[in-house]
Structure 1
Amino acid sequence: MPFYRVLAGRLGLLTLFLALAACAEPRQELPVNTRLGGDFTLTDHRGEAFRLADQEGRVVLMFFGYTHCPDICPATLARVSQVYRNLREAGDAGRVQPLFITFDPARDTPAHLAEYLPWFKADVIGLTGSEADIRAVAEQYGVVFLKSDPQDGGYDFTHSDYVYLLDQQGRVRKLYPSDFNIDEVTDDVQSLL
């Protein structure tokens, strides 16, 4: 075989290896958001006090919403649940805790949350409290929500719909829109474990 063909073949392999190495950049560590977050205490779906600080050592996926939401909230909870199931399959779910904080304490009582959340099959802890307590936690995390005027006995909320990724120290590491990429969130959670 002529020398130039051997050389061309080796150069081709070298080029391929360099291209693959360039594509495999090390994953960047998720930054810590110092403007959002902090510890809080609310009531969980069992009627017990829940402190975020008690989750230290676990990664938290947290979402604010309400159970009577007609569209975004259940769809987002379903996506969070799929992330949790992916983590369960990988053996990582025991170090992750999904949280759902309601804007609607009048209807989303602990008993109602305890009936609603198991449908998502993701060990989600539902949190409620007084309107003042919920508003204070929402402000800590930059969440905006507005209750509509009641019509025919019902009402809705207009609200921001981010999912928060908190690390094992309870620090906000990333926010995702409600239509987040499930694989991206799964990978980000695993990067913190």
Structure 2
Amino acid sequence: MTLLPALAGRLGLPGLLLALAACAEPPPELPVNTRLGGDFTLTDHRGEPFQLADQRGRVVLMFFGYTHCPDICPATLARVSQVYRNLKEAGDAERVQPLFITFDPRRDTPEHLSEYVPWFKANVIGLTGDEEQIRAVAEQYGVVYLQSADDGSGYDFTHSDYVYLLDQQGRVRKLYPSDFDIDEVIHDVQSLL
């Protein structure tokens, strides 16, 4: 008697299909992006120094934006927050850290960020610094942003809007567009835990 008919006889067709699925190749690991990333030091929304290296052992979801953004930034942070809350329900949030890095340090002071990030109810750490520090971090991660002229009523930014997934060693593993699929991100985060 060959193996498959013998297993089918013992397990039935549904059992055989489950057994075969268990033998299938595991999904491929998320690749490490070696062109983007690196450690940095900025100031958090409490006014304390923040170093990415201090997050080792945690998976990081990182987004660059600004608090006066009328649409993309708050919507993207809301989606990141939903990922965090879903991970919290699954018991995985203690090893995940959402980060929001502003490229508008003039308005996004630690005091302002400390009022802004709690609205998302996801343990988001807001980060700022001087313009040179922020420009350097943006370059490390391939972030593009351009400030509009201040016409007296304020200014805006045109910017890239990717969310970065960093593994527990701080390496970039995946970039998501701002309208990412929440379930996909949850799955990817859990694959790195």
Instruction: State the TM-score, normalizing by the size of structure 2.
Output: 0.89
* 1:42 equivalenced with 2:42 (yes/no): yes
RMSD: 2.1
The residue identity in structure 2 corresponding to 1:108 is D
- Is 1:100 matched with 2:82? no
What are the residue-to-residue correspondences of 1:19-58 with 2, within 5 Å?
Answer: 21=21, 25-58=25-58
Match of 2:83, SS state, is helix
Corresponding residue for residue 128 of structure 1: 128
**For 1:25 and 1:128, how far apart are their aligned partners in 2?**
43
- CA displacement, residues 136-188 of structure 1 (integer Å, 9 cap, x when unaligned): 00000000000001123300000000000000000000000000000000010
1:35-76 deviations in Å (ceiling 9; x for gaps): 000000000000000000000100000000000000000000
1:144 aligns with 2:144: yes
> What is the TM-score of this pair, normalised by structure 1?
0.89
Q: Where does residue 4 of structure 1 map in the other structure?
A: none
Q: For residues 27 and 69 of structure 1, what CA distance do their matches in structure 2 show?
A: 37
The one-letter code of the counterpart of 1:124 is V
**Unmatched runs of 5 consecutive residues or more in structure 1:** 1-8
Measured in 2, the distance between the counterparts of 1:175 and 1:192 equals 14
1:158 corresponds to which letter in structure 2? Answer: T
Aligned residue for 1:60, secondary structure, equals strand
In the other structure, the counterpart of 1:178 is 178
Q: What are structure 2's unaligned runs of at least 5 residues?
A: 1-7
Alpha-carbon separation, structure 2, partners of 1:185 and 1:93: 13
Q: CA deviation at 1:25?
A: 4.9
Tell me, in whole angstroms, the C-alpha distance in 2 between the residues paired with 1:34 and 1:147.
28
Moved over 4 A (4+): none
Aligned partners of 2:21 and 2:167: how far apart in 1?
29
> 2:25 and 2:161 mapped to 1: Cα distance?
31
Residue in 1 that maps onto 2:117: 117
In 1, distance between residues paired with 2:21 and 2:47? 53
- Over the matched positions of the two proteins, sequence identity in percent amounts to 84
2: CA distance between counterparts of 1:106 and 1:100?
A: 16
Alpha-carbon distance in structure 2 between the residues aligned to 1:80 and 1:151 = 32
Tell me which moved more, 147-156 or 34-43: 147-156
Q: For residues 48 and 92 of structure 1, what CA distance do their matches in structure 2 show?
A: 26
Counterpart CA distance in 2 for 1:106 and 1:68 is 11
Q: Structure 2: how far apart are the matches of 1:80 and 1:120?
A: 9
Give the letter for the 1:64 counterpart: F
How many residues are treated as equivalent by the alignment?
184
Larger radius of gyration: 1
For the residue of structure 1 that corresponds to 2:169, the secondary structure is: coil
Report how far residue 28 of structure 1 moved.
1.2
Q: Structure 2 CA distance, aligned partners of 1:44 and 1:167? A: 20
Q: What SS does the corresponding residue of 1:54 show, helix, strand or coil?
A: helix
**Aligned residue identity for 2:74:** P
User: d(CA) in 1 for partners of 2:100 and 2:89?
Assistant: 22
